[in-house]
Amino acid sequence: MRQLARVVVALAAGVAALSVAGPAHAQQLSELFRKVSPSVVLVRTVERGVSPEPSAGLTTIPGLGSGVLISADGKIMTAAHVVQTADKVGVQFQDGKIYPAHVVASSLRADVALLQLDQFPIALAPARLGNSDSLDVGDEVIVIGAPYGLGHSLTVGHISGRIASGGIVSGAPMELIQTDAAINMGNSGGPMFNMNGEVVGIVSRILTQSGGFEGLGFAIPSNVAQRVLLTARSFWSGIDFVMLQDTLAQVFNVPQPAGLLVQQVAAGSPGAQLGVRAGAVRMQVGTQQVLGGGDIVLGVGGIDITPNGASLEQIQNYLSGLRAGDSIRVNVLRGGKIVKLAGPLRAR
C-alpha cells in the first residue's frame, strides 16, 4: 500500500508539473511572437506570365510571399522564387502599409534573395540573424509568415533533419533544414526563428502530394543565406529558366550538351536590359510543362552551359564580380541561330 501511495503521489506531482509547464511554454511562445513579429513582412509582387486562356496571351499575375527585415537600412531576406522574375515588388509591414522595394541579390540555386526598400517607415525593427550551424535535430523553432495571405501567422515545430543537397553554392556546400512546423503557400521566404528570437532559416519549400502541408517543410539555413546574399552578393539576373540536357537538349536542337530555356524575364532587370527573350507558348514535354519560344542561353561571359548545372556556380561567380558599367556577354539560341548579346551593367 505504501508503494502504491508513493506511485500515486509521483503521478500527481507529474501532472501538476505538466499543468504548470503548459501555460509557461505558451506564454514563452506568445512573448517570442510579440518580440519578432514586427520584423516579418509580406512580399507582394507583380509579374507577367502566360494566361491559362490561350487567346489571352501574356497577362499580369500577382504573387505573394513572406520575408524578414534584417537591417535598419531596409534590407529584407526572402525566397528567390518569390521575386526572381517580379516586375514590381512591394513590402507590406504589420501596419498594413506597402512600401516599394527592388531585388539587389538572388540565388535560384540556394532559393534566397535580398531586397532593398526604396521607402520605409521611420521606425524599423530588424531581426537578428542566428548561427544555423548550432541547430540540432529536436530543437524547437517557430515560423511566421503569410500562409494563403493570412499575414503574421505563427506555426510551431521542431528541427526534423539537416539535409546536404550535394551542391556547392558560393564556394561552400548547400544544405536544407527540415522541419515539421506547418508551411503553406505564402510562407515562402518567411523566417524560421529559434527560441532566442534569432533567424536561423528562410522558408523555401514543402514536399507534398496533396498540394498542402504534410509534415515535410524545408528552409535554407541562415548561414547559407548570409554567405550567398551578404558575402557573395549573388547576382540577380531577373531570369527564370529550365535546364535543357540529354533528350530535352535534342528536342530543342541545342547545339551543345546543355542550355537554359528562358521562361520569364523581369522588367528592368539585367536580363531585360540585354534583350533576353522570355517564353510565350505553353508546351508539354514529357511530364514537364514549360514555356517555349524564348531564348536558349548557351553561355555567359565565355562560360558554356554544361549538363547538371556544373557550370552555374562558375557563371554566378563571374556575374557577381561585375560592377556597374562592366559589359555582360551572353550567347543565346534564337530561331535556330546563335545570337550574341552584350551590354553594360547598369547601377540599381
Is 158 a catalytic site residue? no
Cα–Cα distance measured from residue 240 to residue 263, given in angstroms and rounded to the nearest whole number:
5
Q: Tell how strand 128-129 and strand 198-206 pair up.
A: parallel
- Short-list 92, 145, 87, CA closest to 117: 92
**Residue 57 CA: distances (Å) to CA of 48, 50, 195, 243, 330:** 10, 6, 48, 24, 27
Is 71 a catalytic site residue? no
Is 188 a catalytic site residue? yes
Residue found under cell 507583380: 46
Residue found under cell 561571359: 301
Q: Which entry of 111, 180, 240, 295 is annotated as an active-site residue?
A: 111
Cα–Cα distance measured from residue 94 to residue 13, given in angstroms and rounded to the nearest whole number:
42
Q: Tell how strand 281-285 and strand 288-292 pair up.
A: antiparallel
- Is there a contact between 180 and 60 (Cβ–Cβ < 8 Å)? no
Q: Which entry of 132, 188, 234, 269 is annotated as an active-site residue?
A: 188
Q: Which entry of 66, 81, 153, 180 is annotated as an active-site residue?
A: 81
Nine-digit cell string for 276: 533576353
List active site positions: 81, 111, 188
